[in-house]
């Protein structure tokens, strides 16, 4: 093995692309050559080839392969090959060189990612084209069931999606292991242009559900992407009151994530009932906001007409839920707007809150006995 300072010097020269100095260093010490081929660096046990590919130094890559005889199919502890590194960083010359030398185009790293999948996390269409032209299969899936089209949808690059549809027209018709489509993914990440393209060129069913019953519209709403939600309503006939596997609507999911603008959109523009309950536990959006401690969302819901006295299927008010979740600020707000439990109810809350002095203090501030 290459030892100490020599090892780190060689690594630095490779990372900086200093081919002349690298060649000179190895010429000065003929004994280093054989050791360099097997030298590994860092926690992931990477070769110099991995580093040359990652930093995009094609001339260094060629020298290591052709002059030192390093194995371009060497993998690190994550089973990542130099081709994965070059593809993931968008280094087209390195990708082309490795493929021309015979690198396996669909080699798999940990979690079954191919170089093409990694290339699709970036906007470099030329790298994607090179991989496809050398036989990369766009339909392969990783361990989560995502193919390249899924990944490009997450990144929101319409030109990459257009190309993938051109070379592999069926690549859109895919679901992950939990039944999420690329449309779910694009909506979740707020990729408006990608969603628009998917609605134009693909045949996704309106309100398709993943294993949790979540629709693309719900994904957009719960992440605050109102523009994407509008698009799904206008061009895909999405249902704003569809329910997930737990009986929750987009309104409830927006309350969980504290998306006030989305809540305003649902209630004020679409006419969704602010006091709508889940079909399972009979929870309102106010219950969810209280549980999460989203004071600003509680204020938004109250301004829209949320019933502060509404009880869920277990006769719990939003105040009960806030207290059970140790949400002092939410409890303070709910008390201030006029919610007063019966003495028995207040006693129950006090017992629930015995471990949280700052929440008990809220009741003391309001002169409510605990």
The CA distance from 3 to 10, in Å, is 10
Could you read off the pLDDT of 167-222 as tens digits, one per residue?
999 999 999 999 999 999 999 999 999 999 999 999 999 999 999 999 999 999 99
Question: Is 166 a domain residue?
Answer: no
Could you read off the pLDDT of 293-351 as tens digits, one per residue?
999 999 999 999 999 999 999 999 999 899 888 899 999 899 888 655 444 445 455 44
Residues linked to residue 41 through DSSP beta bridges, in sequence order: 46
Are 157 and 123 in contact by the 8 Å Cβ rule? The answer is yes
Question: Is 98 a domain residue?
Answer: yes
CA proximity to 233, closest of 216, 245, 247 = 216
Question: Is 97 a domain residue?
Answer: yes
CA proximity to 241, closest of 210, 264, 212, 274 = 274
Q: Which domain holds residue 97?
A: 1-109
Say what the pLDDT of residue 335 is. 86
The CA distance from 258 to 345, in Å, is 27
User: What is the phi/psi pair of residue 258, to 5°?
Assistant: 70, 40
Say what the pLDDT of residue 28 is. 83
Question: Is 257 a domain residue?
Answer: no
DSSP 41: B
Residues linked to residue 46 through DSSP beta bridges, in sequence order: 41
Taken in order 204, 207, 213, 217, is the CA torsion positive or negative?
positive
User: To the nearest whole number, what is the mean pLDDT of the chain?
Assistant: 92
The mean per-residue pLDDT over the stretch 100-128 comes to 97
Of 98-102, 162-166, 364-368, the range with the lowest mean pLDDT is 364-368
Question: Is 99 a domain residue?
Answer: yes
Query: Cα–Cα–Cα angle for 341, 344, 349, nearest 5°?
Result: 70
Question: Is 352 a domain residue?
Answer: no
Three-class DSSP category at 46? strand
**pLDDT for 141 beyond 60:** yes
Question: Is 64 a domain residue?
Answer: yes
Provide the number of structural domains found in the chain: 1
Say what the pLDDT of residue 350 is. 42
Could you read off the pLDDT of 186-197 as tens digits, one per residue?
999 999 999 999
Rounded to two decimals, the pTM is: 0.90
Say what the pLDDT of residue 101 is. 97
Are 52 and 63 in contact by the 8 Å Cβ rule? The answer is no
Could you read off the pLDDT of 17-68 as tens digits, one per residue?
999 999 998 888 766 667 888 899 999 999 999 999 999 999 999 999 999 9
Say what the pLDDT of residue 103 is. 98
Tokens 């087209």 correspond to 92
Sequence-separated (6 or more) residues with CB below 8 Å from residue 324 = 291, 316, 352
Say what the pLDDT of residue 369 is. 55
Say what the pLDDT of residue 164 is. 98
CATH number at residue 59: 1.25.40.20
> What are the CA-CA distances from residue 279 to residues 36, 43, 228, 244, 355 (Å)?
64, 50, 26, 10, 32
Environment class of residue 293 by beta-carbon count within 10 Å: exposed (0-12), middle (13-18) or buried (19+)? Answer: middle
Question: Is 70 a domain residue?
Answer: yes
The CA distance from 284 to 312, in Å, is 7
Could you read off the pLDDT of 252-276 as tens digits, one per residue?
999 999 999 999 999 999 999 999 9
Tokens 């069926």 correspond to 170
**pLDDT for 288 beyond 60:** yes
Are 108 and 114 in contact by the 8 Å Cβ rule? The answer is yes
Say what the pLDDT of residue 344 is. 46
The CA distance from 35 to 51, in Å, is 16
Per-residue pLDDT band for 361 (boundaries 50, 70, 90) equals low
């Amino acid at each position: 093995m290459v030892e100490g300072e020599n090892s780190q010097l060689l690594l630095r020269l490779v990372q900086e692309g200093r081919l002349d100095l690298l060649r000179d260093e190895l010429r000065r010490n003929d004994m280093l050559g054989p050791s360099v081929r097997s030298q590994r660096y860092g926690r992931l046990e990477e070769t110099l080839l991995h580093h040359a590919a990652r930093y995009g130094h094609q001339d260094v890559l060629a020298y290591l392969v052709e002059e030192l005889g390093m194995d371009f199919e060497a993998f690190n502890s994550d089973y990542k090959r130099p081709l994965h590194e070059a593809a993931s960083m968008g280094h087209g010359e390195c990708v082309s060189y490795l493929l021309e030398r015979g690198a396996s185009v669909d080699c798999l790293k940990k979690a079954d990612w191919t170089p093409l999948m990694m290339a699709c996390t970036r906007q470099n269409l030329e790298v994607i084209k090179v991989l496809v032209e050398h036989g990369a299969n766009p339909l392969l899936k990783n361990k989560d069931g995502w193919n390249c089209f899924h990944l490009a949808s997450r990144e929101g690059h319409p030109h990459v999606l257009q190309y993938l549809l051109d070379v592999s027209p069926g690549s859109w018709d895919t679901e992950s292991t939990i039944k999420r489509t690329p449309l779910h993914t694009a909506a979740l990440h707020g990729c408006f242009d990608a969603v628009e393209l998917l609605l134009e060129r693909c045949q996704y069913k309106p309100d398709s559900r993943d294993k949790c019953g979540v629709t693309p519209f719900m994904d957009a709403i719960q992440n605050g992407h109102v523009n994407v939600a509008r698009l799904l309503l206008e061009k895909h006939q999405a249902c704003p009151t569809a329910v997930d596997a737990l009986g929750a609507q987009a309104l409830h999911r927006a309350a969980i994530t504290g998306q006030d603008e989305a809540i305003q959109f649902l209630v004020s523009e679409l006419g969704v009932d602010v006091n709508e309950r889940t079909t399972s536990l009979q929870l309102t959006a106010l219950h969810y906001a209280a549980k999460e401690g989203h004071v600003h969302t509680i204020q938004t819901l109250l301004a829209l007409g949320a019933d502060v006295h509404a009880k869920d299927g277990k006769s719990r008010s939003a105040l009960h839920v806030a207290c059970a979740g140790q949400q002092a600020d939410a409890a303070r707000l709910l008390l201030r707007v006029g919610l007063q439990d019966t003495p028995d109810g207040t006693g129950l809350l006090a017992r629930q809150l015995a471990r949280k002095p700052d929440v008990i203090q809220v009741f003391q501030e309001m002169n409510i006995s605990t």
